[in-house]
Copies of this chain bind each other. A is one copy, B any other.
Amino acid sequence: MGMVGGGRDAFIGAVHRLAACMDGHVAVVAGALASTPEKSLASGRDLGLDPSRVYPDWQTMLAAECKLPREQRIDFVSIVTPNFMHFPIAKAFAEAGIHVVCDKPMVLTSAQAKELCAITAAQKVVFGVTYNYSGYPMVKQARDLVRSGELGDIRRVVVEYHQGWLATPLESSGQKQAGWRTDPARSGAGAIGDIGSHAEQLASYITGLELDSICADLSTFLPGRRVDDDAAVMMRFAPRNGVAARGMLIASQIQAGCENDLTIRIGGSKGTLTWSQEDPNFLVLRSDGQPERIFRRGNPYLGNLAKASARVPSGHPEGFIEAFANVYNSIAAAIRAGAGGPQAATEFDFPGVIDGARGVHFIERAIASSQSQNKWTEARFTA
C-alpha cells in the first residue's frame, strides 16, 4: 500500500502501519507522508521505504504510481491526513482506479460523501473507512447476536465515548494532534466528529438500525476552543418489526482522567448486551430467566465473524491493533478477490464508503440540531 500522511510526529499513521502489516498481507511500499516535501522524505527514510517511492506530495505520488506497471503499482492508498484533506485525495486516487482506505470522518460534507460514493461505484474500487472499533471480534459477535434474535426487538441503545485528553487547552501548547483536531477548518467538527462518528458507526454496525431523527446538544467547555468538545445526542430510530428504538449517544473529550472509554449497551425485549472497548475480549449478555453470559473471544461457540477475526486462542487477549488490523485484512481480502464498488464493504465485512457517508451525514445533522436550539431534527440517511 501507499500512505498519504502519517509521517514523523503523527499519531495515527504509525497505528495504521502496525495494523495494516500485522498479519503479513500488506506492506507499505510508497508514501507522501507529510505536509512538506522535506518532512515527507525524512519520514520515508525512517520507515526504510525505497526513496524512489517516497514522494514530496500526494499529487506527485498519484502521478508516479499510475505510471508504474500495474503489478508494481500500489494496490491501495491509505489516507491518514487531517480530515479536510481526505476528500481531494480520496477522490483523485479513486478516480484513477486505485483502491482507497480513508480515516474517519471520511469527508467534511455530505456532498463530498455522495461524490465519493458515486466514484466508488463507477470505478468499482474498494473503498474502506477505518472505523476500527467494529474490527473487534466481540463487536462482530454482538452484531451476530442481534441478527440471530438473541435480544428480541431492540428498544434502547446507549453508546458513550468518554475521553479526557482535551480536558485542558492542549491546543495552546503546540501539541499537533490537538492543534488540527480543534481547528474547524481542518477537522470539520470537534468531539462529535472525532469520536461521535465512531460511536455512531459502532451502534449502526451492531444493530443495523437506521436513524429517524435526533436531538443534539453540543457544547464547548474550554474557553476559546473553536469546536465542540462535548456532545450528547438523543436518537430515534426507524421502526423494525414495528418497534422504534430510542438511543442516546455521548461523545465527550473534556472529562479528566478518562482514557478511551467507549461503551455500548443495547437493550431489547429478550436481552441486553454491553461491550466496553477498554476490556474488549468480553461481551456481556443479560437475558431474563438465565445467568448472565459472558462471551469470550477465541471460543468455538462464537459466530463465524468473531471466530474468523481472532488470531490467538481464548484466554490470550487481543487488543486495539488487532481490531484495527481486522479492518485492513477485510479490505485487503476484498482487493485480492477483485471486488469493488460500495457493496464490497458488506460482502467482506468492512466499513465502506456508504458507512463513511452515513457518518458524515450524522455529524451534519447533529450540528444542525444543536444550532437550531437543539430541536429534534430529521436524520434519515439515504445512500
Residues of A near any B CB (own CB < 8 A): 11, 15, 17-18, 21-24, 48, 151-152, 155-156, 158, 160, 162-164, 167-168, 215, 217, 219, 221, 230, 232, 234, 236, 243, 246, 248, 250, 252, 254-261, 265, 267-272, 277-281, 285-296, 298-301, 311-322, 373-376
Q: Can you report 21 A-B residue pairs in the complex whose CB atoms are below 8 A from each other? A: A15-B312, A21-B24, A24-B48, A155-B230, A156-B252, A162-B265, A248-B248, A256-B267, A256-B270, A257-B270, A257-B271, A257-B285, A257-B286, A258-B267, A258-B286, A258-B315, A291-B296, A292-B293, A294-B294, A316-B319, A375-B375
Q: Is the CB of B291 within 8 A of A294?
A: yes
Query: Chain B nearest CB: distance from A191 CB in Å?
Result: 11
Q: Is the CB of B320 within 8 A of A321?
A: no
Which residues of B have CB within 8 Å of A215? 215, 217, 234, 374
A280 to B234, CA, bound (A): 28
Q: A260-B314, A293-B293 are in contact. List 18 more A-B contacts (CB 8 A).
A: A151-B256, A155-B254, A217-B236, A217-B246, A248-B248, A248-B250, A254-B267, A256-B272, A256-B286, A257-B270, A261-B315, A277-B315, A292-B296, A312-B321, A316-B319, A316-B320, A317-B319, A318-B320
Partner of A318, one of B232, B288, B313, B319: B319
Number of copies: 4
Q: Give the residue name and chain of the B residue nearest to A290 (CB).
A: B301
Tell me whether A259 and B313 are in contact in the complex, defined as CB-CB below 8 angstroms, given that A279-B279, A375-B375 are known contacts.
Answer: yes
Q: Is the CB of A255 within 8 A of B267?
A: yes
A258 to B290, CA, bound (A): 11
Q: Give the residue name and chain of the B residue nearest to A248 (CB).
A: B232
Q: Give the residue name and chain of the B residue nearest to A243 (CB).
A: B221
A23 to B18, CA, bound (A): 7
A234 to B366, CA, bound (A): 14
A148 to B158, CA, bound (A): 31
Q: Give the residue name and chain of the B residue nearest to A270 (CB).
A: B256
Which residues of B have CB within 8 Å of A167? 269, 288
Q: Is the CB of B257 within 8 A of A287?
A: yes
Query: Chain B nearest CB: distance from A359 CB in Å?
Result: 20
Query: Chain B nearest CB: distance from A131 CB in Å?
Result: 15
Which residues of B have CB within 8 Å of A217? 215, 234, 236, 246
Q: Give the residue name and chain of the B residue nearest to A259 (CB).
A: B315
For A250, A288, A317, the residue with the greatest tally of chain B CB atoms inside 10 Å of its CB is A317
